[in-house]
Every structure is written in C-alpha cells, then in structure tokens.
Amino acid sequence: MLSNKTFSLPLKMSTILFMLFFVASVNLPAQTDYIVSEGHIVGDFEGWDGETLFEMSDGTFWIQAEYSYIYYYAYNPKAIVFKRGPNYYLKVERVRKILKVLPVDNVIKSRIDGDFKGFEGNTIYKLTNGTVWQQTDGKYQYKYAYSPRVVIYRVGFGWKMSVEGITVSVERLE
C-alpha cells in the first residue's frame, strides 16, 4: 500500500505541472482581463515587425508597443485586444504569441492621389482628401501601387504615415 501512494503522488504532481505549463504556454487572456476590441484585423495581416499599425473592424487603431517580430499571413484574421492591468494586448487567431499594443488616436485615412512609387527619403505626397505630406525620416523603399490606402497618425510630437505596410515619419505641408 505504501508503494501505491508513493507512485500516485508523483503522477498527480506531474499532471498538475503539465496543466500549469499548458495554460501558461497558450497565452489566452486570463479571467481578470477584459476585452476592449473584438472582431478582425482589416485587410492583409503579415505579423508584426517593430512599429506595426493594426486597424480593427470596429474602427479602432492599435500600434505595436514593444519590439517583437513574427511573420504570419492571413486576410482579415479574427483578433481581440484585451486589457490586463494598465497594458493592452493583441491576440490574433492562429498566432500563439500575444503582442503588447497602444491605442492610437488622431487617425487620418485617405489615399495617395495617383501613382505611389514608395519612399525616397523626402518624398512629397498629395492625398485624395486634399492634404499634402512630406516624408522626413530618410527611409528608402520602392513599392508601386496606384492610389493606395494611407493611414496617418500622431506619435508623440510627430506624425507617421503607413502605406502598403510600410511606415515612415512625415510632416504636413498643406
């Protein structure tokens, strides 16, 4: 009888440890978390890479709050943003990792007026809403698109512009 008790105790302990490991590794929101945005990410989702901006189907925008890189492609994937303590986190379907994010206000949505040929360091862009913006960060990346969607948002004391998944610093000229 003593040998059965000795055998069953480690088995129960290993079961408990497995359950704790499984729950911790899944990265699902805990019961003390609450959902602040639920739906799907609008358009192509290609993971995140440093300063990725996410638009949710409820019209809210979120930006990556800390550096992390993950690649996963999905179109309009289901996602939730939940709050845990003072922080917000993004959980995307089929992506195991959760991402710390910040809410973004002061968002301007428009389109490039005509051809977009990427970023050349100090390029000037006219938008279909009549505003004119100039790139200020010196980043160079070629990407062609005709009248692509543009999202401009305030970060600290400056502005960022996201076009076709590429983000640069900009200032408003008109």
Number of domains in the chain: 2
Boundaries of domain holding 137: 107-172
Clarify whether residues 118 and 149 are in a common domain: yes
pLDDT tens digits for range 8-35: 445 455 555 444 554 454 555 555 889 9
Clarify whether residues 113 and 165 are in a common domain: yes
- Beta strands across the sheet bearing 158-163: 107-111, 149-155, 158-163, 166-172, 132-135, 124-126
Tell me, yes or no, whether 81 lies in a domain: yes
Query: Which residue, 55, 81, 104, sits at the end of a domain?
Result: 104
Which pTM does this prediction carry?
0.74
Clarify whether residues 63 and 49 are in a common domain: yes
The predicted model gives 87-98 an average pLDDT of 96
The predicted model gives 150-170 an average pLDDT of 91
Q: What is the pLDDT of residue 30?
A: 53
Tell me, yes or no, whether 11 lies in a domain: no
Q: Is 97 within 8 Å of 68 (Cβ atoms)? A: yes
Tell me, yes or no, whether 7 lies in a domain: no
